[in-house]
Amino acid sequence: MDRRWMVRGEDGGRWDRGIGGGSGPFAEGSGRMSWSGFVNNVGEWEGRRVLYNGNGVELLDVSTSARVERVDDPEGVRWRTEAYREGGEVDIEDVEWTRRDVDLYGAAVESGSYSLGPSAIFGENFKIDQGAVASDVRVCASYAYDWEGKLSGLIVARERRTNVVQRAIEPSAWNSSAALFDYYLGTWEGSGIITHRQSGRSIDVSSRIRLNFNLNGNLHQVSSLSVIGGQHREVQSTAARDGSILLFANAGVQMFLLPGGVSIASPIIITRGEPFVVELAFLVRPDERIRIARCYNADGAWMNTVFLQERRVASLNR
């Protein structure tokens, strides 16, 4: 059975605005390094794909296989995913991204990690796609937002390249969101780049995040991002934990801790006049993760994307 895999609203409406099978306006830009990185996803992959609702509740979990191949006229890639349901039913999704799509509307780095999507469109549905690639393993996430600016659904795929022996040690957090929380406690430091939308320039940055408990027993996070030899920004926030969700109420952000060593951070609601960030993190191996943050300004326009490779330098004993 040939069927598009996509997030659907409660009314059955399709949330597929965005590049690769969607439509709608995008921020203009120049991601000069994007295409050469994005094509590193070419190949065959296999794994699992999970559909969540906007509250992070799992709705469907299926095994998948994916083939990513280059195409011509126009130059681009074709991304075919087959999802295998119980009973033998197969859902097929075919998506094509042209080189122009990737260069104008997204950013990617040499490893293959990417971030793609439109500017936020207030009053309409839209979708953002991000992927964290670590050699022969990757996590792909699609975030769907409804016309009110609320997260309506998530699709998260965790995949390996087909017929490749995995040599990395698998942390326990890949099987447990509770274990992932314990990994996140402590101090993480890293480095990477920030890619600007308008100029296409990439600047080296460093990061530091400390997550611990304050004297009141609440979670306290101090996060900083520094341009090498330049600006430094630090943000402090508190969070409440509800199972696999961290709620940063003062920042208006919710973080979902998901199986597979994956975390998703998203605004509770996207509001006109408030800048926001959509983030994907993937625990590649014990004490090492990839973090991707797509940043929007108060007008809902995509401004830049941050790609970070981080290590835990201090754990927190509870």
Write down the pLDDT at residue 10: 33
Percentage above 90 pLDDT, the chain: 46
How far apart are alpha carbons 253 and 265 in whole angstroms? 7
Going by pLDDT thresholds of 50, 70 and 90, the confidence category of residue 294 is very high
pLDDT in tens, 234-260: 888 889 998 899 999 888 899 999 988
Of 39-48, 170-179, 302-311, the poorest mean pLDDT is in 170-179
Domains, the chain = 34-314 (2.40.128.20)
Of residues 316 and 148, more confidently modeled: 148
Q: Would you state the pLDDT for residue 167?
A: 56
Instruction: Please state the pTM of the whole predicted model.
Output: 0.86
Read off the pLDDT of each residue in 220-227 and give the average, rounded to a whole number: 88
Please give the average per-residue pLDDT across 117-143, as a whole number: 90
